Amino acid sequence: MRHAWRQQDGDIRSRTRREQLLRAALPVIALAAGFLVWELVVRFKDLPPYVLPGPMLVFSTLIADWGLLWSSLLSTLKTTFQGLALAFVGGVGLAILFNQSRLIEYSLYPYAVILQVTPVVAIAPLLLIYLPQHAAVLACAWIVAFFPVLANTTLGLNSVDRNLSELFRLYGASRWQILRDLKLPAAMPYILGGLKIAGGLSLIGAVVAEIAAGAAGAGSGLAYRIAESGYRLNIPRMFAALLLLSFTGIVVFAALSSLSHVLLRRWHESAAEPET
């Protein structure tokens, strides 16, 4: 019997490793195939670089212009993480107020929805009129990242089992103790889910605001480099900057997903290893 259990456990581990390998390898293979088709189309059609550069030219441009693109990326990332931090603090803080007071929630939540559904590309030029350039770009990054954190945290705090809340009250727990020891831990998966969404949206808000600002100089972000390359018909650099920006978004999402997994893996089902 013990031998059969060990054999079954070994089979499960083997299947899990194969599944993990496939999940890692298949996207890489699909990406490589896409780049290969792209390169072949450019070569066989003999397309000029200002129409469509091949991936090899894009990668060589990325390496040649790395210093310029890297400094611009750091500027964009600075704005992205500042906006994300403000969205996290403001969204969680306001969600706690909403949970503690229905009057505050009924009064302010509709305006948060209005802020969310208003396109940031329409807000950015207006903010640039009344705010300094960096503050306006930061405000755009915050606006688009704020609502997912607020909505998810509010949902998480309101989804706590009422029986558990009543049990805490039965044992004389205060509202602060219920919030600290029950509601916030129970809402943690929702908060981290909202943070993962907000990370990508904050990057989008920063990019849109940088394009609207259109300012040159040492502090220019990666979005400005994309627009600048388009104006100068330097399409390989435009593709290189766009590729770097897309990769950055993937890294931000992966980092926040890893953070969520680390914080939840020991106690929450959403981060537990799947049974096979």
One-letter identity of residue 112: A
Q: How many residues would you count in the chain?
A: 276
pTM listed for this prediction: 0.83
Q: Are residues 139 and 16 in the same domain?
A: no
User: What pLDDT is recorded for position 11?
Assistant: 58
3-class DSSP state for residue 215? Answer: coil
Q: Mean pLDDT throughout 181-207?
A: 90
Average the pLDDT over each of 61-75, 213-227, 230-244 and give the range with the smallest value: 213-227
In a domain, 76, yes or no: yes
One-letter identity of residue 149: V
Q: Are residues 182 and 226 in the same domain?
A: yes
Q: How far apart are the first and last CA of the chain?
A: 20
Residue 186 contacts residue 224 (beta carbons within 8 Å)? no
Residue 142: which of 95, 97, 214, 203 has the closest Cα? 203
Contacts of 123 (CB under 8 A, 6+ apart): 140, 143
Q: Are residues 255 and 225 in the same domain?
A: yes
Q: Are residues 218 and 258 in the same domain?
A: yes
CA distance 42 to 37: 9
**Is the pLDDT score of 48 beyond 80?**
yes
**Is the pLDDT score of 184 beyond 60?**
yes
**Is the pLDDT score of 274 beyond 60?**
no
The token pair at 57 is: 């030219």
* Model pLDDT for residues 94-124, shown as the tens digit of each residue: 999 998 888 998 999 999 888 888 888 888 8
Q: Are residues 83 and 198 in the same domain?
A: yes
Residue 62 contacts residue 243 (beta carbons within 8 Å)? yes
Produce one character per residue of 43-56: b if its CB has 16 or more CB atoms within 10 Å, e if not.
Answer: eeeeeebeeebbbe
pLDDT, the chain, mean:
85
Per the model's pLDDT, the better-predicted residue between 267 and 21 turns out to be 21
Q: Are residues 101 and 32 in the same domain?
A: no
Q: Are residues 27 and 138 in the same domain?
A: no
* Total structural domains within the chain: 2
Q: Are residues 7 and 104 in the same domain?
A: no
CA distance 166 to 65: 61
Q: Which residue has the tokens 């997903």?
A: 257
Q: Are residues 98 and 154 in the same domain?
A: yes
Q: Are residues 177 and 112 in the same domain?
A: yes
Q: Are residues 98 and 28 in the same domain?
A: no
User: What pLDDT is recorded for position 218?
Assistant: 44
Domain span at 193: 54-271
Per the model's pLDDT, the better-predicted residue between 14 and 95 turns out to be 95
Find which of 51-55, 128-132, 191-195 is predicted with most confidence, using mean pLDDT.
191-195
In a domain, 276, yes or no: no
CATH number at residue 118: 1.10.3720.10
